[in-house]
Amino acid sequence: MPPVRVLVVDDSVVVRKLLSEALASSPEIQLAGTASSGAIALAKIPQINPDVITLDIEMPGLNGIETLTEIRKLYPKLPVIMFSTLTEQGAAITLEALSLGASDYLTKPTNSASLADAMVQVRSDLTAKILTLAGRVRSTVPLQLATAANRAPHSSEIEILAIGTSTGGPNALAEVIPQLPENFRVPTVIVQHMPPLFTRLLAERLDSQSQLSVHEAEAGTPLEPGHVWIAPGDYHMTVARRGVKTVLALNQDPPENSCRPAVDPLFRSVARAYGPHVLAVVMTGMGSDGARGAAYIREGGGAILVQDEHSSVVWGMPGAVLQSAGADKICSLSEISQEILRRVSSSRTKAAILSSRM
């Protein structure tokens, strides 16, 4: 199989050299070319036919957003990874880029990082993203698991919605959360793999689009219906019973699945706190985070939905959950919000009927 051809677009000579050297270390990746501006990149694409593009956000002339817009017009399916700074402005522009069709993003190493550390970080993170988006990392989910749910219908009343997602997640959340009504009867907790700043701005963005109130999580906050909490970057988020209330907790325990926040700690905690009264949803994302936690939810009697492969940017996380724990239903992205509403409403109706018979 030929190597994945990558076009690196950045106005900084230092960054272009750093990325070129990092990518050269992988035999599965070939540096097809570099470009110092958006205009040069657009001219080079038909000449070198890259499989993936890395695109800087802040460039003179055509900036990253403008270049991305033109790429999406001409090459709607060409994977584009945005390179952003770990600043508030960089985070805001990155979220805008993702909403405009960027496939993924990577934050540039901070000024405090040594060149050697920067090389290690870029090599591990960027090469994994490139190979996944180019289709070189495939799901190993057995066909029988991918095509059938393996359990009896869920009958317990749903008391919490827990969502895990990563690559492609901001757009998936923007599709699902705004479709939930203001009177949604259960609290919602979300882990989206993102660094600090990014998670707060994601919460603010979703809050402006949604009927529900969306917040970046704060420790000690009681869970209430009609509210959504997103785990803050660099903190695991869990839930815990405190008397008659359930509250949010944050910690900086070691990363799990190379992630902090990670989905697994959240899923384990909701399984402990709510038992069979959990509805978990795992959407698009690279890796396998959420698979072990979903198994806890399944063992506790909770329900699990996963996004289907076709509508996922990357089917790593949903596929891993399906392999590890199975699912009550496999949904396209456009079906997820309605399936959530149907299951929450149905569980309340069943609970009321059972209560009236007692």
Instruction: Of 102, 104, 110, give the one whose Cα is nearest residue 85.
Output: 110
Cα dist from 3 to 31, 51, 207, 282, whole Å? 9, 9, 42, 31
Cα–Cα distance between 95 and 101 in angstroms, integer?
10
DSSP conformational letter for 275: G
User: How far, rounded to the nearest angstrom, does the alpha carbon of residue 24 sit from its chain's CA centroid?
Assistant: 28
Cα–Cα distance between 323 and 29 in angstroms, integer?
29
**Alpha helix stretches (DSSP H) within the chain:** 13-24, 38-48, 64-74, 88-99, 115-133, 143-146, 169-176, 198-209, 263-274, 291-299, 316-325, 333-357
Cα–Cα distance between 194 and 84 in angstroms, integer?
13
Instruction: List, by residue number, the catalytic residues.
Output: 166, 193, 289
The DSSP bridge pattern shows strands 303-307 and 278-282 to be parallel
User: How far, rounded to the nearest angstrom, does the alpha carbon of residue 173 sit from its chain's CA centroid?
Assistant: 8
Instruction: Of 73, 5, 79, 8, give the one whose Cα is nearest residue 38.
Output: 8
Q: Is 262 left (phi over 0), alpha (psi -120 to 50) or beta?
A: beta
Cα dist from 142 to 35, 84, 139, 145, 309, whole Å? 42, 37, 9, 6, 13
153, 303 contact by CB (below 8 A): no
Cα dist from 336 to 22, 256, 307, 333, 346, whole Å? 38, 26, 8, 5, 15
